[in-house]
């Protein structure tokens, strides 16, 4: 993970990135910090605390005005959004400028195997968590704030045994468009980023045949993506440069979604 500084396009901004102790979330948090943001890193389990603390330490060591805190919070728990916001405002003041709804679960099960518990566990994090996390930041959002939902190319594709995950991403894209219509009056934008397969721990939970099919049909390099390639797009959407982009789903997939 690079610590080189970039143009300080997010200097003075406070950003919450849910599910950001590792993988794509960690690269998004670090990329924003390299651009000057103060970042809230959230994680769910005690096993992730060391990684979250290391990320915060690395951010604080950057030679700019970035800073960070880490907050343990399970977005499947309805009380967690308020806890995250309280921790954020206690550390960085009352204003929040950027929310990245990244926390998500993935369940690989065929339709006949899906249990009520699977549905509730996944949707409580992927959808309910995003809804009430966004609701919790509303009183603190400054004009021209940025809400960025992390979707997936699976939200508009059919993959066997991934229906819970892909349907949750389709729902998140629907919320993206509706929230953009609702919140844009003061210049706030709401967008989604839909990565293709990215090198990460979650990738290991996707059936190999699906990943290989996507690689074979990806025009750019016939490969999976790197998380930093997605993080750069998220940071751009979070900046003032993307002020006229809202209600959009941006595919970051090496061209896979052309097909």
Q: What's residue 259's pLDDT?
A: 54
Q: What's residue 222's pLDDT?
A: 81
| Segment 184-230, tens digit of pLDDT | 999 999 999 999 888 777 667 777 887 788 778 878 878 888 999 99
Q: Respond yes or no: is residue 123 known to be catalytic.
A: no
In the chain, where the domains are located: 14-251
| Segment 79-108, tens digit of pLDDT | 999 999 999 999 999 999 999 999 999 999
Q: What's residue 207's pLDDT?
A: 77
Q: Respond yes or no: is residue 152 known to be catalytic.
A: yes
**What are the start-end ranges of the H helices in 14-157?**
23-34, 49-60, 80-92, 116-123, 130-137
Structure-block tokens of residue 149: 């939902």
3-state per-residue secondary structure call for 122-169: HHHHHHHHHHHHHHHHHHHEEEEEEEEEECCHHHHCCCCCCHHHHHHH
Q: What's residue 215's pLDDT?
A: 78
Q: What's residue 223's pLDDT?
A: 82
Q: What's residue 202's pLDDT?
A: 67
Q: What's residue 189's pLDDT?
A: 99
Q: Respond yes or no: is residue 119 known to be catalytic.
A: no
Q: What is the mean pLDDT of residues 147-172?
A: 95
How far is the CA of 24 from the CAs of 148, 217, 228, in angstroms?
14, 22, 7
If one compares 234 and 158, the residue with the highest pLDDT of the two is: 234
Q: What's residue 256's pLDDT?
A: 78
Q: What's residue 219's pLDDT?
A: 80
Note the Cα 108 to chain centre separation in Å. Answer: 20
Q: What's residue 254's pLDDT?
A: 85
| Mean pLDDT taken over the chain | 94
Task: Say which CATH architecture domain 14-251 belongs to.
Answer: 3-Layer(aba) Sandwich (3.40)
Q: Which of 20, 21, 145, 152 is catalytic?
A: 152
Q: Which of 21, 145, 168, 169 is catalytic?
A: 169
Q: Over 70: is that where the pLDDT of 258 sits?
A: no
Of 1-10, 114-123, 145-154, the least confident: 1-10
Q: Over 70: is that where the pLDDT of 251 sits?
A: yes
Q: What's residue 116's pLDDT?
A: 98
pTM score, two decimals? Answer: 0.94
Positions of E strands within 151-237: 189-195
Structure-block tokens of residue 16: 């919450």
Q: Which of 21, 87, 165, 246 is catalytic?
A: 165
User: What pLDDT band is residue 52 in, cutting at 50, 70 and 90?
Assistant: very high
Q: What's residue 111's pLDDT?
A: 98
């Amino acid at each position: 993970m690079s610590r080189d500084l970039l143009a300080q396009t997010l200097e003075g901004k406070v950003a919450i990135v849910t599910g950001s102790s590792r993988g794509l979330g960690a690269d998004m948090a670090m990329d924003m910090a390299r651009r000057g943001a103060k970042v809230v890193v959230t994680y769910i389990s005690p096993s992730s605390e060391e990684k979250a603390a290391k990320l915060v330490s690395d951010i604080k060591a950057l030679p700019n005005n970035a800073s960070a805190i880490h907050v343990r919070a399970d977005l499947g728990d309805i009380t967690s959004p308020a806890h995250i916001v309280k921790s954020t405002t206690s550390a960085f003041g009352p204003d929040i400028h950027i929310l990245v709804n990244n926390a998500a679960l993935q369940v690989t099960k065929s339709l006949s195997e899906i249990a009520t518990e699977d549905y509730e566990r996944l949707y409580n994090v992927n959808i309910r968590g995003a809804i009430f996390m966004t609701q919790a930041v509303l009183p603190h959002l400054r004009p021209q704030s940025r809400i960025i939902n992390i979707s997936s190319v699976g939200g508009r594709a059919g993959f066997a045994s991934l229906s819970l995950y892909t349907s949750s991403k389709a729902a998140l894209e629907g919320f993206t468009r509706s929230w953009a219509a609702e919140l844009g009056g003061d210049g706030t934008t709401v967008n989604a980023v839909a990565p293709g397969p990215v090198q990460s721990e979650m990738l290991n939970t996707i059936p190999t045949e699906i990943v290989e099919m996507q690689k074979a049909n990806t025009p750019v390099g016939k490969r999976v993506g790197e998380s930093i390639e997605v993080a750069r797009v998220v940071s751009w959407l979070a900046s003032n440069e993307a002020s006229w982009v809202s209600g959009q789903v941006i595919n970051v997939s090496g061209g896979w979604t052309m097909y």
